[in-house]
Amino acid sequence: MGTNKYPGKELYPHLFSPIRIGNIRLKNRIIAAPTSPHMLTTQGHLTAEMVAYLEKKAMGGAAVVTMGESIVHSATGKSHNKQVQLDSYGVKLMLNEATKAIHNAGAYANIQLSHGGKYGGLASVGGTVLDTSVTAWGVSDEVTPEGVVHEMPTAMIYEIIESYKNAAILCKDCGFDMVQVHAAHGWLISQFLSPGLNHRTDEFGGSFENRARLLLCVLDAVRAGVGRGFPIEIRISGDDMSEAGLNMDDCVKLAEMVDDKVDLFHVSCGNHEDPAMFCRTHPSTFFERGVNVYLAANIKKHVSKPVVCVGALIDPAQMEEIIASGQADLIAIGRGLLADPYLPDKALHGRADDITPCLRCYECFGEIVKSESIKCTVNPVIGQELADKRSCRMAKQKKRVLVVGGGPGGMEAAITLAQRGHQVTLAEKSEKLGGNLHPAGSAFFKEDIRKLCKVLENRLREADVEVLLNTEVTPAFVKELDPDALIVAIGSTELRPPIKGLDGDNVVMSIDAELHPERLGKRVAIMGGGLVGAEAAISFKHEGHEVSIIEMKSEIAQEVNSFYRGGLMPFVYDAAECYAGTTVKEIVPQGVLVERDGKEFVIEADTVVCALGFRPKWQIADELCSMVDESYIIGDSRNVGQIYHAISQGYYTALQI
């Protein structure tokens, strides 16, 4: 007997057991969950970049790759400008390319059939409508802060039902192996199901059965379009978690009603379009991983068809336990496969410790709104898969490269350089690698950053990079080593503005405070209400301190993407007394003298934490670079940024050498 090629089958036997769904047999229990499309044309057609993005997930070993937010009736249901329009002429070409790419990479292709309902004429969380003159057609008349919603005529409802059928036929013709009917998250079907929104008096309103009629008709229409055996997945809530929506018992009742019409249940929760619920539908870092699995487990008790769970799952061992214990039959992974598309393959080959953890920072969502593309803090390839396919894997000429600085950018650069065949030395002035990942990952809710640091350290060892700790690199050091190329990733220094009293014994800099909270007094005032200050406040409160935040801008954490900020701020407000629009005048023995609205007062504190930002070490970086002919500056030493900038610059700079 030879060695086991796939140790994951022994480690996670349930996760890697096949399962039949309709007329297809899945090789494992991992589904790439539907994620928002992004790289599209103005006609709602996929681009080559979008196809490469889907292909990457299939290459990583998922059994099924799901295309998200595909609108069946764009005249009424297109809720923003980043959605596939299945009724747009010319849409078929790239859908065909997508299914071929997914198939050729070893996965089945799935597509989510959706309709935004009232958001077809309102600005939704996902973006903006292209034509603000479009009428918002919803389940019933409604006045919202975003605009007026008109009750959908009965004839229009039947037209939309037919559009589901036509869309399903089109998708099957384009090579998709299954379709998902979206009946959750506050979109059209969810709106009809809602007792709080549905006030209709026709056959689609009133009783639970009437409110479910649209869904039943849609499922019948889709089945008529795709025929027997073709898998139909339904995405439902296990609980809408809203007084206007369905509770857990209602969701069970709904699942029982459609059990004979579908082949697979995908159980989610909440409302994508409700900012207060977004961070539960897509669990933030403040929730435990798998927080929504219990909802799938509840549905599973009442249906005969397989059930998919979802909820920020990235640990194969946890997935195995979920399936083995009967809570669900399959696992859907969304953001986790952006952070590491090869998560399934790594689990299969017994390399779970090399899975790049999703930080749940929502930069992926934020980038879709910002640039109509996508990015991932920890995966520099996401959103650039097409260009990455064309890049040169191995270096044309082997070089001796010195990387200065062992933070995330320096580690990523060194790993990539070594993988490309270069001889790499990484020098770090402190006693350990990680740089600012350590203070950033110090809070109780930042375990994922701590995991990221370990993953990068492990990859450094596997890549055979020479690591020199406790080594401060000087121009003389560079001259003596005489590398062919130099990458400077020395980070930044904390800003110390000329504030009177800043040198007092009651002042602690933010990094020191995060790493050594025992140095803080009972009452803590944080100067600076950016992301660092906001997250520090939550951490300090958790450790028993009384916290205040002082911020000059009009809002706390103003620079943070809206998706993460929505989940962050309730915890900030609970943790701290927030003084926005407030200027620090002086640090005094009693705390901080401030001014707001022309009035001066003292915010009392035993310890004052300075979290007023960072400054690049440009002078040192320039001195080091002057010693070699080929040099690069990355990360905070280039311009102060986020983890994303450090890792992305580290990766792509390494590709240039």
Which of 147, 470, 117 minimizes the C-alpha distance to 273?
A: 117
pLDDT at 372: 81
Q: Which helix (H) or strand (E) holds 339?
A: helix 336-339
43 contacts 90 by C-beta, under 8 angstroms: yes
For the chain, the domains span 8-387, 392-492+616-656, 507-612
DSSP state of 47: P
Contacts of 451 (CB under 8 A, 6+ apart): 357
Q: What are phi and psi of 612, to 5 degrees?
A: -100, 20
Compute CA distances 202 → 138, 211, 216, whole Å: 14, 10, 16
300 contacts 326 by C-beta, under 8 angstroms: yes
CA dihedral (233, 235, 238, 244) in degrees, to 10, reads -140
The beta strand positions in 288-363, using DSSP E, are: 307-309, 330-333
145 contacts 153 by C-beta, under 8 angstroms: no
Which of 360, 306, 370, 352 minimizes the C-alpha distance to 332?
A: 306
Tokens of 520: 């803080």
Residue 585 neighbours by CB distance under 10 Å: 16
pLDDT at 257: 98
- Residue position matching structure tokens 């005489």: 482
Instruction: Quote the pTM value.
Output: 0.94
> In this structure, which topology does domain 8-387 adopt according to CATH?
TIM Barrel (3.20.20)
Q: How far apart are CA 389 and CA 192, in angstroms?
A: 44
Q: How far apart are CA 398 and CA 417, in angstroms?
A: 10
Q: Which CATH class is domain 392-492+616-656?
A: alpha beta
> In this structure, which topology does domain 507-612 adopt according to CATH?
FAD/NAD(P)-binding domain (3.50.50)
- Cα angle: 148, vertex 149, 151; to 5 degrees: 145
Tokens of 28: 């494992």
pLDDT at 390: 80
562 contacts 533 by C-beta, under 8 angstroms: no
361 contacts 22 by C-beta, under 8 angstroms: no
List of the chain residues with pLDDT < 50? 1-2
- pLDDT (tens digit per residue) in 212-257: 999 999 999 999 999 999 999 999 999 999 988 999 999 999 999 9
pLDDT at 126: 59
User: In the chain, what is the greatest distance between 2 CA atoms, to the nearest angstrom?
Assistant: 84
Altogether, the residues listed in the chain come to a count of: 657
pLDDT at 4: 76
Q: How far apart are CA 398 and CA 302, in angstroms?
A: 61
pLDDT at 132: 59
pLDDT at 125: 66
